[in-house]
Amino acid sequence: GKGEYDHFMLKEITEQPTALAQAIEGRIDATSGRIGLSAFEPGSFEAIDSVQFVACGTSYHAALYGSLALNQAGVQATALLANEYSVAAPPVDETTLVIAVTQSGETADTLNALRQATAEGARTLTVTNVVGSTAAREADDALFIRAGPEIGVAATKTFSSQAVILTLLGQRIATDLRGEPSADLESLLPALESMPSRIHELLEHSNAEAIAEQYRDSQSYFFIGRGLGYPVALEGALKFKEITYEHAEGFAAGELKHGPLALVTPETPVFAIFTGQEDEKTLKNAEEARTRGAPVIAVCPDGHPAVEAADEHLAIPETDSDLAGLFANVQLQLLSYHAADLLDRPIDKPRNLAKSVTVE
């Protein structure tokens, strides 16, 4: 049950320290710099040349996160919407690893893409939460995120766990393909180990409820980010629209000036996510919105230059840039939750939506 919580969504947001601890348990060793993903011994991806992720909704955002991390590690990777895969899949062969990212393991669109990739001769893997799910049974291999059951229709803890597991898997793939571990493993593994306790702290001190209250009468809500902050901007907007029924959009920060800036007014707060990847450019993009009268809420560490430049601040800890976006995402989950709660929305069961979409 929900226990002391009004909604499963808040319970599941709060469970993230535990979910993440379970996700990484036994899979990393910061002292030796080792990543152990049981089925995937070092060398198990040597025959792979490129990676395609297929997924929908929040899982697609986690997949995009994983694909950008792989690109940054020098591996050819793309994230594709599973529901678009049948019309325009890039070619695959036995050197292509197709990774289906799906919390439930039962999403029809994702299973269709997985089956198509299998039929065309790709090697397949699923990253899922559900042992015994269709995706886990049908893919060549399965990697479980161990987040525990998620009841709220809005995916929360499973996004964080997927992104963390994809980060680990990406490091393993990159190591196999390039023959050496990526340089930032030394800072990534300790940052991962401390993530559960730091998320716990963030949850204790978040001012997201006050920010939700402050901007509750806005016309639209925009989310911008760059690099690994981009999938987080998309996810922030999806969560916001899904449970508040208010209009929200996520953009790559640099795209704002290529069209969306025309929508920006004093009635459209802009949440700007800073992950330590070209932050000065994102700050410039946020300032362009602020010049048009939009309130800017900076999601960044204390003491970051964006704090001074913005109207409000949602704080995240100083951490590895591979993980910063995931802390930002937790602040945005809380923002959406409180905004929806103020509007008295049926948070755990938003209209027209189902937890698992088993139709095409």
Residues that bind ligand M6R (CB under 6 A): 56-59, 102-104, 107, 110, 153-155, 242, 356-357
Q: Is the dihedral of CA 205, 191, 163, 258 positive or negative?
A: positive
Which residues face 98 on adjacent strands? 52, 124
Residue with smaller CB distance to ligand M6R, 100 or 177: 100
SS3 285: helix
- Least Å from the CB of residue 55 to ligand M6R: 6
Nearest approach in angstroms of CB 263 to ligand M6R is 23
Euclidean distance between CA atoms 300 and 318, whole angstroms:
8
**What's the rounded Cα separation, in Å, for the pair 34 and 46?**
18
Least spacing, CB of residue 340 vs ligand M6R, in Å: 12
Closer residue to ligand M6R in complex, CB, 150/320: 150
Q: What is the DSSP letter of 5?
A: -
CB of 120 to ligand M6R, least distance (A): 21
DSSP 280-313: HHHHHHHHHHHHTT--EEEEE-TT-HHHHHSSEE
For residues 27 and 157, which CB has a smaller minimum distance to ligand M6R in the complex? 157
312 three-class SS: strand
User: What is the separation, in whole angstroms, between the first and last Cα of the chain?
Assistant: 31
Minimum CB separation of residue 265 from ligand M6R in Å reads 28
Catalytic residue among 2, 257, 349, 355: 355
Maximum distance among all Cα pairs of the chain, rounded to whole angstroms: 54
- Concerning whether 355 is annotated as a catalytic residue, the answer is yes
Residues 6+ apart with CB under 8 A from 19: 146, 147, 148, 157, 158, 160, 161
User: Which alpha helices (DSSP H) does 179-320 contain, by range?
Assistant: 185-193, 195-205, 208-214, 229-244, 279-291, 305-309
Return d(Cα 316, Cα 232) in angstroms, integer: 14
- Give the residue closest to ligand M6R by C-beta: 57
Nearer to ligand M6R, 67 or 285 (CB): 67
Closer to ligand M6R at the Cβ: 102 or 331? 102
Which residues are identified as catalytic?
A: 355
